[in-house]
Structure 1
Amino acid sequence: MSTSPPVSARLHNADLAPATTRDWNGYSVFALWMSVLHNVGAYTFAIGFFFRGLGIWTVLAAMAVALVIVYVLMNLSGAIGQRTGVPYPVVARLSFGVFGANLPALIRGVLAVFWYGVQTYLGSVAVSALALRLAPGLESWNAHKLLGLSGLGWCCFLALWVLQLLVVRHGMEAVRRYQNWAGPAVYLVMFVLLAWVLIRTDGAPGVEVSPDRVHGGSVVLQFASIVGLIVAFFGTFLLNISDFTRSSPSPRSMRRANLWGLPVNFLVFAVTVAIVTTGSAKLFGQAVTDPIELVQRIDNTPVLIFATIIFTIATIGVNVAANVVSPAFDFSNIAPKYITFERGGMLAAIGSILVCPWALYSSPVVVDYFIGGLGALLGPLFGVIVTDFYLVRRGRVDVAALYVEGGGPYWYRRGVNPRAMLAAAAGAVIAIPVALVPQWHAAAPFSWTLGAVVAAVVYLAVRRGVVDSVDSGQEPAHV
């Protein structure tokens, strides 16, 4: 085995180093998925599939197919972190080079910052609505605006902003502890809504959501679109799941948690959402797809307070997991000597204010073209990283060399792998137009998949027969 030179301060700090503890056990990863799925955004995302003109069983079948695909891909990506013990930006060094990895890390990090702000804003809207319900006099706080947000809006936004920061500033252990109870908590609200709907509808809420039906080839297209959209929905975590699985105690623990947290949990949540929504249509004459709005229609103030608090907890949970942890590592990767995980999280938090997310959310152009365009880049990055690890290197990794500059298997050309950049660019050339060009709207759900496949094929073509000499002397990591 070769002896690696000393680690570089430009590539290493305590947060980016291989994990020394393995405390993200099966329950912690399972709770992570519950937090990711049990929130207002996932609620509206899931219910949207039932309005595509398909029967409920067809929708559930499409979801099951998509979730099996996600489960397999998540295991492949998560296993890289579990075996190496390193977070996503360090994993990216395998394929893109020790300095080239800054590009895929920044793409993921910047996208997370925008969604961090948007999710915080959406959570603050629910808190603001509750505040007005309890204290109508606060309406006067909405009379004046600063940078497009009212005084009450700023108070609620900053309150959530601070709460999220308090979790992150204590590191990944605090994140784990928060996720362990925040994710399952939303089921309490869902069961309250389910019970309320069943009681109000005498136990017969109905099972079909969409009043219309599609036929023939449209059924196949809608089925495939649901599959593509769900895979793309998990596209961010398919990249940076190693931020969490790096601390998993074993591959078996990770796979079991993914099984219960993804296919099983998502389908149970989706069925619950469908029943609640059909019941709301029966009660109010039209389906209520926003859980916050539905809760506000319950004429019970204690229930309203309880539900809003739980949904706020869930918003913090998904934001911390999906949109704070990733940029904290990603920004730390840029300058490890100066930016720790905590400082990276602070930079992400500050950025989430500077982007004025309330303005972003109200601008379809920004959401579709900027955020959508960045999202389309995630597939190609995934395609390169997974293809490189499994098909090119066959699981062989020199972990110590991931922190070395000036030479070694991941130095490539001055720290950048041009082949990986070329493959990712090729995937992006396909994915971005498919995602954004209006004439190709029907194909937009498949932009992530197309980008990943094209990038993988191109990378295999340009890397054929190219395996770094140091890898040949390593034992493969059997994942």
Structure 2
Amino acid sequence: MQDLNLGNAKVAPDLLPTKPGERNWGLYSYFALWIGMDIGIPTYYLASSLIVGGMDLKWAMITILLANVIIAFPILANGHAGAKYGIPSTIYWRSAFGFNGASIAAILRGVVAAGWCGIQFWIGGSALNTVLGLLFPAWAAWELGKWVCFGVFLVLNIFILIKGMGAIQKMEHWCAPMLIIWMVVLLVWARTSAGGWGPLLRQQNTFASTTEFLTFFIVGLNANISYWGSMPLTVTDLTKVAKDQKSHMVGQFIGIPSGIVGLALVGSLVTSCTVVMFGEAIWDPVQLTGMIENVPLVIGMMAFLIIATLTTNIAANALTPAIAIVHLTGGKINFKWAAIVLGIVGVLLRPWVLINDMGVYMNFFLNGGGALLGPIIGITICHYFFVCRTELNLRSLYVPEDESLYTNLKKFNAPAYIFCFATAVVLGVLAFVLPSTWTQAVCTLGCTHQFSMIGMAVIIALLGVLMYVNRKGGVNPISILTIALSFIVIFLGLWVPALHWLYDASIIVGTVVGMALYYVLMKVGDGSYMEAKKVEHANALKAEAEKAKAPKEA
């Protein structure tokens, strides 16, 4: 660990590297963490959109498993930095985006995370409302009941979040085995009640051709990767307390796919049984509980669902945005108040609207969120492994210095903001001069092509504003150019029918294009910096090898 001499610099305690005594999360801690995050109500009906779209159960499970194995690699890659340096994500982002440029990743990730927080607040509140309605019939008739439960569940999330990583660890350790037991109990109950597994197991793919299947497969795979799309960016908030690299890598690699595939399979099998029991497929577990006559069983099921939603939301969605708020305000808002602000933003995003339509949820929220996050994921991984060779200047991430201010790339600052402004103008003009038959047509996002084009113009213009404000240093212009170019590539898939696969695979395309563009542009822009980091890494490996030999020789 580097000696972090901050001098007179003021840094919020929540942003400082973790101390050796705080790094106490082992393999089981990370396995339990992911079981807790995987098992939640959204995961329960994760397979539903795939099966309703035409897949059989086998291919739905293969798609979900493959997606989670794929997303595990970028999660483990960025997680390496957290375990090595003990830094939170908002500090880690400064290495690739610059001391002031980290706000880009913080804002884009924060918007997606706040949406997820709100959705989980609403789902957990709905589950609580169902339980109270069963216990007290008068509650079920009260129109404001669901809103009160929504508020109670929101406050509970914030309370546990404020208690910090220790409270989260204890909650995950306690909940993980209980959630696994709940899955087994639910499965046995459904199988016994229905007298069989129901018709969904016999359902075949309904696609007319291989091309039609592959088109849907790409969309479904991308949506399932995007389900955890924000985690590669925020995983250092979890791995900064890891005992060692092996603990988080093994624990996460086992935990990431196992819980989510397990619950998706349980959800599909139970839903298949509901066809026999109730004459229709019921994918929503909250709705299902209201149709079961065994009240104790219902209360038990809902209690577990509430716990599952709680564990998922706090660790996966709420922790990093709260830290990001502390970072964006320079520590003026502490972690406690940041958690409260996050709760307010989650409500303002109206989660009851986001999950009202499966098409909006999948194409707008999941794939749209993946489009925003993909390039950021690609840049962070490329910078850490291929540009810096895992050698970060820790002091420069806390004190603005040449390396984190990117003064060596200052000559690219003007071209970067000029490119962003010019691109925004071109997109804005095209949105109004192209034929109205196209601009007013609804695209995959659920809005008109014109609106999507204007929206992208605004986002790229904001990148230009950030670059212009920091034109004297503080933002990595290569990262700005990479983000802007990656966004254009992805959204061409919305605007050019022949290239629709670019948006269908938004998070995959964004990550790959982001990595490739960033590496090439950094090589051209400052190849000497990359060579210096290569030498630094070689020296670090040599020093570690000599240190390992020292005790034996002594």
Q: TM-score, normalised by structure 2?
A: 0.77
2: CA distance, partners of 1:57 / 1:371: 22
1: CA distance, partners of 2:366 / 2:266: 30
TM-align CA RMSD: 2.9
2: CA distance, partners of 1:45 / 1:2: 43
Report the alpha carbon displacement of residue 366 of structure 1 after superposing the two structures with TM: 8.4
Match of 2:484 among 422, 425, 441: 425
1: CA distance, partners of 2:2 / 2:130: 62
Q: Report the counterpart of residue 31 of structure 2 in structure 1.
A: 30
Q: Does 1:458 align with 2:451?
A: no
1: CA distance, partners of 2:163 / 2:150: 21
Q: Report the counterpart of residue 244 of structure 1 in structure 2.
A: 238
2: CA distance, partners of 1:108 / 1:381: 9
Q: Report the counterpart of residue 537 of structure 2 in structure 1.
A: 475
Report the alpha carbon displacement of residue 92 of structure 1 after superposing the two structures with TM: 0.5
Q: Report the counterpart of residue 6 of structure 1 in structure 2.
A: 6
Worse-matched range after superposition: 433-442 or 449-458: 433-442
Report the alpha carbon displacement of residue 472 of structure 1 after superposing the two structures with TM: 5.9
The correspondence of residues 259-338 of structure 1 with structure 2, limited to 5 A, is 259-338=253-332
The correspondence of residues 333-412 of structure 1 with structure 2, limited to 5 A, is 333-359=327-353, 361-362=355-356, 373-405=368-400, 407-412=401-406
Q: Which amino acid aligns with 1:188?
A: I
Q: TM-score, normalised by structure 1?
A: 0.88
Structure 1 gaps, min length 5: 143-150
Contact residue 74 and residue 381 of structure 2 kept, 8 A: no
Contact residue 80 and residue 245 of structure 2 kept, 8 A: yes
1: CA distance, partners of 2:367 / 2:61: 26
Q: Report the counterpart of residue 145 of structure 1 in structure 2.
A: none
Report the alpha carbon displacement of residue 209 of structure 1 after superposing the two structures with TM: 6.4
Change (3 A) 1:74 1:288: same
Q: Which amino acid aligns with 1:191?
A: V
Change (3 A) 1:109 1:435: farther
Q: Which amino acid aligns with 1:165?
A: I
Q: Which amino acid aligns with 2:475?
A: V
SS of the equivalent of 1:6 reads coil
2: CA distance, partners of 1:210 / 1:235: 30
SS of the equivalent of 2:406 reads coil
Match of 2:507 among 416, 428, 448: 448
Report the alpha carbon displacement of residue 383 of structure 1 after superposing the two structures with TM: 0.7
Give deviations 1:225-269, integer Å, cap 9, x for gaps.
333222221111121111101111111111211222023333333
Change (3 A) 1:352 1:69: closer
SS of the equivalent of 1:475 reads helix
Q: Report the counterpart of residue 250 of structure 2 in structure 1.
A: 256
Contact residue 62 and residue 224 of structure 1 kept, 8 A: no
Q: Report the counterpart of residue 412 of structure 2 in structure 1.
A: none
The alignment covers a number of residue pairs equal to: 468
SS of the equivalent of 1:338 reads coil
1: CA distance, partners of 2:80 / 2:265: 30
Q: Which amino acid aligns with 2:155?
A: V
Q: Does 1:46 align with 2:47?
A: yes
Q: Does 1:202 align with 2:195?
A: yes
Q: Which amino acid aligns with 1:428?
A: F
Q: Which amino acid aligns with 1:6?
A: L
Change (3 A) 1:54 1:4: closer
1: CA distance, partners of 2:480 / 2:202: 45
Give deviations 1:24-43, integer Å, cap 9, x for gaps.
22112112211221111111
Report the alpha carbon displacement of residue 9 of structure 1 after superposing the two structures with TM: 4.0
- Relative contact order (alpha carbons < 8 A, sep ≥ 6): 1 or 2 greater? 1
Change (3 A) 1:138 1:97: same
Contact residue 82 and residue 88 of structure 2 kept, 8 A: yes
Structure 2 gaps, min length 5: 408-472, 542-554
Q: Which amino acid aligns with 2:158?
A: L
Worse-matched range after superposition: 265-274 or 153-162: 265-274
Give the number of the structure whose alpha-carbon radius of gyration is greater: 2
Q: Report the counterpart of residue 193 of structure 1 in structure 2.
A: 186
Change (3 A) 1:457 1:272: same
Change (3 A) 1:228 1:351: closer
2: CA distance, partners of 1:122 / 1:159: 12
1: CA distance, partners of 2:7 / 2:354: 41
